């Protein structure tokens, strides 16, 4: 039987990415143009700048993905593109590029939810086993997603305010660390011990999260110390903040895994790069020998198009086709 080749495209935030995926599981190419340098001096992603960069980079990245994979558009079975959620102007660049290629070469088009992509990054590492639970933690999302079968996503818990990555970035900003702050806090946290008692929002009886109270507590702690003329070690603050975030993420993931009798727990999204989170999850699931914990390599955790290709492959297999009326949808539900 002929191999299935999917071209994945991702432009929902500040990464312009294209990738070619074979049979839903094998990466033939994975091109990513990051814009981090352009947004750094603003301390966060500037939507208008993101859109402009996507316009400039899209064709270059597409060319790179095809060349690396050694194929042309004629070899492709379907184009998978992130249709949402994300920045609307950014999404539109990828969606329009995908539609143009689909129309010009008469290739089927499949719209993909960005979070489905993050979850399916795991399929590039292992086979999915159902029921499967994903902890999706990124700059825009903090969700626990249950799957009973391929393509069937149920959000059982989500953040009520800030996303985990957002909290990391905001705390980093108050410590004058560069954007994105997550990796810097992560590094600092390992240089200090968590001496400050920061709050944890348990929201008992739910699998929901809340990080805005923690973020405010960090800012207040710094501010109060400053007013007293005291100095708080950034490493101690980072370690305390990280401990609080990880404690809630891991505890709720563990509870949900038990309650839903899942066979697999997968970590997804940019915050999955966090060393402390990886270690804590591994520790928590060590004794659950019948639950497989999957933690993808870093390059598959941050935004990329390989994950969109992987999710698109599954959706295409299930019969999903998007029309040329496909539009970017910043508030798309999974
Ligand atoms: O998935 P992603 O690349 O983009 C979104 O879809 O949001 O995630 C980016 C987020 C940023 O908030 C960044 O600070 C965070 O992931 N991040 C980390 C780490 N590496 C990236 N957060 C904590 N620890 C890290 N090591
Ligand atoms: Zn993402």
Q: What residues form the annotated binding site?
A: 114, 118, 136-140, 169, 182, 186, 274, 303
Q: Do domains 5-120+301-317 and 127-295 have the same CATH topology?
A: yes
Any idea where the domains of the chain sit in the sequence? 5-120+301-317, 127-295
Question: In this predicted structure, what is the pLDDT of residue 46?
Answer: 87
Compute φ and ψ for 123, nearest 5 degrees: -75, -15
> Does ligand 1 lie within 6 Å of residue 169's CB atom?
yes
Residue 201 burial class via C-beta count within 10 angstroms: exposed 0-12, middle 13-18, buried 19 and up: middle
Dump pLDDT digits (tens) for 178-204.
989 999 999 999 999 999 999 999 999
What's phi and psi for 158, nearest 5 deg? Answer: -155, 170
286 CA from centroid of ligand 2 (Å): 27
- pLDDT number for residue 217: 96
Q: Which of 13, 84, 180 to mutate to test the pocket of ligand 1 (most atoms within 8 A of CB)?
A: 180
Instruction: Tell me the fold of 127-295.
Output: Nucleotidyltransferase; domain 5 (3.30.420)
Between the CA of 166 and the centroid of ligand 1 the distance, in Å, is: 8
Q: How far is the CA of 292 from the centre of ligand 1 (A)?
A: 24
User: Which positions of the chain have pLDDT values less than 50?
Assistant: none
The rounded Å distance from CA 156 to ligand 2 centre is 19
Nearest atom in ligand 1 to the alpha carbon of residue 273 is 26
pLDDT at 36: 84
Give the pair of three-digit tokens for residue 252.
């709720």
Which CATH code fits 5-120+301-317? 3.30.420.40
Q: Say what the pLDDT of residue 45 is.
A: 86
Q: Which two tokens mark 302? A: 């941050």
Nearest alpha carbon, ligand 1 atom 2: 270
Ligand 1 touching residue 274 (CB < 6 A): yes
**What is the b/e burial string over 108-145, where b = at least 16 CB atoms within 10 angstroms of the residue's CB?**
ebbbbbbbbbbbbbbbbeeebeebbbbbbbbbbbbbbb
User: What's the predicted TM-score (pTM) here?
Assistant: 0.94
3-class SS at 145? strand
Full DSSP string of 259-328: HTT-SEEEEESGGGG-HHHHHHHHHHHTT-TTSEEE---HHHHSS-SHHHHHHHHHHHHTT--B-TT---
Q: Which residues are annotated as a binding site for substrate?
A: 136-140, 169, 182, 186, 274
pLDDT at 1: 79
Q: Which of 125, 108, 113 is nearest to 7 (CA)?
A: 108
- Tokens representing 291 are 């639950």
Give the ipTM.
0.98
Q: How far away, in angstroms, is 274 Cα from ligand 2 center?
A: 14
């Amino acid at each position: 039987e002929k191999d299935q080749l999917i071209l994945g495209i991702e432009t929902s935030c500040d990464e312009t990415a294209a990738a070619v995926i074979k049979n839903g599981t094998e990466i033939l190419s994975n091109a990513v143009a990051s814009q981090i340098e352009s947004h750094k001096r603003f301390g966060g992603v500037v939507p208008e700048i993101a859109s402009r960069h996507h316009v400039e980079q899209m064709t270059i990245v597409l060319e790179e993905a095809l060349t690396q994979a050694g194929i042309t558009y004629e070899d492709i079975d379907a184009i998978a593109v992130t249709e949402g959620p994300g920045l609307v102007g950014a999404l539109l660049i990828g969606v329009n590029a995908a539609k143009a290629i689909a129309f010009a070469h008469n290739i089927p088009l499949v719209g993909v939810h960005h979070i489905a992509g993050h979850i399916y990054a795991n399929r590039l590492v292992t086979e999915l086993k159902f029921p499967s639970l994903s902890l999706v933690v990124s700059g825009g999302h903090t969700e626990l997603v249950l799957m009973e079968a391929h393509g069937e996503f149920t959000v059982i818990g989500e953040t009520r305010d800030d996303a985990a990555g957002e909290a990391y970035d905001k705390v980093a900003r108050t410590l004058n660390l560069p954007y994105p702050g997550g990796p810097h806090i992560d590094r600092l946290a390992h240089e200090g011990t968590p001496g400050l008692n920061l709050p944890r929002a348990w929201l008992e009886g739910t699998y929901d999260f809340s990080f805005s109270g923690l973020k405010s507590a960090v800012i207040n702690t710094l501010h109060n110390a400053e007013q007293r003329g005291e100095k708080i070690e950034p490493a101690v603050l980072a370690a305390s903040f990280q401990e609080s975030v990880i404690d809630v993420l891991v505890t709720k993931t563990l509870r949900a895994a038990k309650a839903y009798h899942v066979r697999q727990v997968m970590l997804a999204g940019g915050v999955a790069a966090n060393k402390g989170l990886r270690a804590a999850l591994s520790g928590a699931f060590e004794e659950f020998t019948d639950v497989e914990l999957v933690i993808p390599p870093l390059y598959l955790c941050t935004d990329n198009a390989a994950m969109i290709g992987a999710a698109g492959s599954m959706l295409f297999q299930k019969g999903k086709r998007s029309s040329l009326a496909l539009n970017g949808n910043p508030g798309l539900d999974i």
